[in-house]
Chain A
Amino acid sequence: MNKIFVRRDKIISNSDNIEIIENKIRFLNNGKYLVEYSDIDDINLEYYVSNEISVTLFESCFLENIKVNNKYVINNGNLVVNKFYNVNNVLEKIDIDLCHDNDKLDYKFSNICKNNEEYLININHMAKSTNSNICNKSIALDGSKLNFVINSNVGREYEKSILNQNTRIVTFGNSDSKISPNMYIDCDDIEARHGSVIGTFKDDLVFYLMSRGISYKDSVKLLVKGYLFSNINADNDLREKILNVIDMYWR
């Protein structure tokens, strides 16, 4: 696996498949790339996918407080982002540009929100037949505040594009959660879908698991695991880290 470690003063990688210039990371070959943020609170990166390559990113962050201002530029390529956060406070702004005809983005984010997190995701369709799929699956713990604003933008001439936004927040106790799914479409011939759900796990799901002898706590834990891993495709290391976080909250 190609690895990228993002720290306060530098970006380090074990891979020859990327080029790093200042805060810009350019992918040179198809592949899977693991991105870890450590010892940093202000993240400002630009990722570039071009030359018909397909990139899968696995991003994770387990820090205290972060402010993120990242950009993903796809210019004749495909990008899949699998991303997991368990952070105390997050203020994140993401811009994603699909610049070339037929560019494709699959953005899958999951988090366990314990305090205060705000996400602004802008997806800019800047060419024809571009395809963006945004899927967020969050857990909001008791007392937390979680806000998603997702803006999909399509200009007049970028026909045949496909936009999908799907954001779900499962709440525990009293949490203040909001989702604002926005689609700014200035073109007739596009396909657009969005879904936003905030709520708890259905009682019937918990009842079903408990009817097989599984305790309430373990039933909820199974549901949390299933919910998070049905969204992000984690490699073994990241999966282990996420499982440890789940174990921490649902001991």
Chain B
Amino acid sequence: MLSIKNLDVSVDKKQVLNNFDLDIDDGSIHVIMGPNGVGKSTLSRVIMGDNHYVINNGDIIFNDESIKDMTTDERSRKGIFLVMQYPMEIDGVSNQDFLRTAMSSHMGKKVGLYDFILKCENAIEELKMDKSLIHRSLNVGFSGGEKKKNEVLQLKLLKPSLIILDELDSGLDVDSVRIVAENIVSYKKENPNTSILIITHLPKLLEYLEPDYVHVIINGCICETGGYELAKLIEKNGYNQYFDKSNIIDRK
């Protein structure tokens, strides 16, 4: 599904991803772990096409097609969805108007109001969201949990084939983490070929979304890959051991 090859990325002339490689098969769940500031969120934004980041080398292949030169909206319409750590608040843009425009863009035709309401109401119920949020300005005055639920609502309506979860659990209480994670699990069950890339520095979320692969990223590249047991090991021992390793490999 997604193949990242030899990716070098910089922002403001500072290298943030170094010769980064990652392959994600259809239906698999991968986790990128690492301490703060090592390039985890950068990776998610580079995949999504944030033009603040400059790709100096390498390629990003999605479903056998290079997306490196595609715009962010094109990547989204190809089926990539980034659940953002800090969803933007946009005063005056109603959540409903935004969601309907996004759905229409994905479907290539204007979505009828009745059709939209029907789809929306089901998803809102499953997420145990307050129905009034749909009529309010996008994410304005939403709690942390409501913002994340709103992200998952978008996901359920846009039906992506690759979901990137960037620090999904930040700003969520335990109950909200459970509800949001359960909804993603249920989406995954309904769409088994959907792949998930989880970006986190805490492994708590993985109790709900058990990964096939766990990668540890330090200094902009993957320094170790393993299974779920690696995440458990990190929970126990922390990241210090990797800084020692990266001193040898990469520190200049």
**Which residues of A does B touch, CB under 8 Å?**
203-205, 207-216, 218-219, 222-223, 225-231
Across the two chains, which residue of chain B brings its CB closest to A219? B73
A229–B49 alpha-carbon span in the complex (Å): 30
A214–B92 alpha-carbon span in the complex (Å): 17
B92 touches which of A203, A207, A215, A227 (Cβ 8 Å)? A227
B93–A212 touching, CB < 8 Å: no
Q: Which residues of A contact B94 (CB under 8 A)?
A: 226
A209–B98 touching, CB < 8 Å: yes
B92–A229 touching, CB < 8 Å: yes
Across the two chains, which residue of chain A brings its CB closest to B91? A230
A207–B101 touching, CB < 8 Å: no
Q: Given contacts A212-B98, A212-B154, is CB(A226)–CB(B137) below 8 Å?
A: yes
**Which residues of B does A touch, CB under 8 Å?**
48-50, 52, 71-73, 76-77, 81-82, 84, 87-88, 90-94, 97-98, 101-102, 105-106, 137-138, 154, 158
Across the two chains, which residue of chain A brings its CB closest to B101? A214
Q: Which residues of B contact A231 (CB under 8 A)?
A: 92
Q: Which residues of A contact B105 (CB under 8 A)?
A: 212-215, 218
Q: Which residues of A contact B81 (CB under 8 A)?
A: 211
A205–B73 touching, CB < 8 Å: no
B93–A226 touching, CB < 8 Å: yes
Q: Given contacts A218-B105, A222-B98, is CB(A211)–CB(B82) below 8 Å?
A: yes
B98–A207 touching, CB < 8 Å: no
A214–B93 touching, CB < 8 Å: no
A200–B96 alpha-carbon span in the complex (Å): 24
Q: Given contacts A222-B101, A225-B93, is CB(A208)–CB(B73) below 8 Å?
A: no
Q: Which residues of B contact A223 (CB under 8 A)?
A: 90, 93
Q: Per DSSP, are chain A's interface residues mostly helix, strand or loop, or mixed?
A: helix
Q: Given contacts A222-B97, A227-B92, is CB(A212)–CB(B50) below 8 Å?
A: no
A229–B48 alpha-carbon span in the complex (Å): 30
Q: Per DSSP, are chain B's interface residues mostly helix, strand or loop, or mixed?
A: mixed
B88 touches which of A205, A214, A218, A227 (Cβ 8 Å)? A205
Q: 10 tightest A-B contacts by CB?
A: A230-B92, A226-B92, A226-B93, A213-B76, A210-B72, A212-B102, A208-B88, A213-B105, A210-B73, A213-B77
A208–B87 touching, CB < 8 Å: yes
Additional A-B contact list (4), CB under 8 Å, known A214-B102, A222-B90: A211-B84, A213-B158, A226-B92, A231-B92
A204 touches which of B88, B91, B154 (Cβ 8 Å)? B88
Q: Which residues of B contact A204 (CB under 8 A)?
A: 88
B52 touches which of A203, A208, A211, A219 (Cβ 8 Å)? A203
A205–B81 alpha-carbon span in the complex (Å): 16
A144–B87 alpha-carbon span in the complex (Å): 33
Q: Which residues of A contact B97 (CB under 8 A)?
A: 222, 225
Identify 5 residue pairs between A and B in the complex whose beta-carbon atoms are under 8 Å apart, listed by A's number. A205-B90, A214-B105, A222-B101, A223-B90, A225-B92
A216 touches which of B52, B71, B84, B158 (Cβ 8 Å)? B71
Q: Given contacts A225-B92, A229-B92, is CB(A207)–CB(B158) below 8 Å?
A: no
Across the two chains, which residue of chain A brings its CB closest to B102? A212
B101–A218 touching, CB < 8 Å: yes
Q: Given contacts A216-B71, A222-B101, is CB(A211)–CB(B48) below 8 Å?
A: yes
Closest-CB distance, A137 to chain B (whole angstroms): 9
Q: Given contacts A213-B106, A213-B158, A223-B93, is CB(A230)–CB(B73) below 8 Å?
A: no
Q: Which residues of A contact B72 (CB under 8 A)?
A: 207, 210-211
Q: Given contacts A203-B52, A211-B48, A213-B105, is CB(A226)–CB(B91) below 8 Å?
A: yes
A230–B137 touching, CB < 8 Å: yes
Closest-CB distance, B133 to chain A (whole angstroms): 16
Across the two chains, which residue of chain A brings its CB closest to B87? A208
Q: Which residues of B contact A227 (CB under 8 A)?
A: 91-92
Closest-CB distance, A180 to chain B (whole angstroms): 25
A208 touches which of B84, B106, B137, B158 (Cβ 8 Å)? B84
A226–B94 alpha-carbon span in the complex (Å): 8
A212 touches which of B52, B91, B158 (Cβ 8 Å)? B158
A214–B52 alpha-carbon span in the complex (Å): 19
Closest-CB distance, B126 to chain A (whole angstroms): 19
Closest-CB distance, B111 to chain A (whole angstroms): 12
A225–B52 alpha-carbon span in the complex (Å): 25
Q: Which residues of B contact A218 (CB under 8 A)?
A: 101, 105
| A209, A210, A213, A219 — most chain B CB neighbours (10 Å) | A213
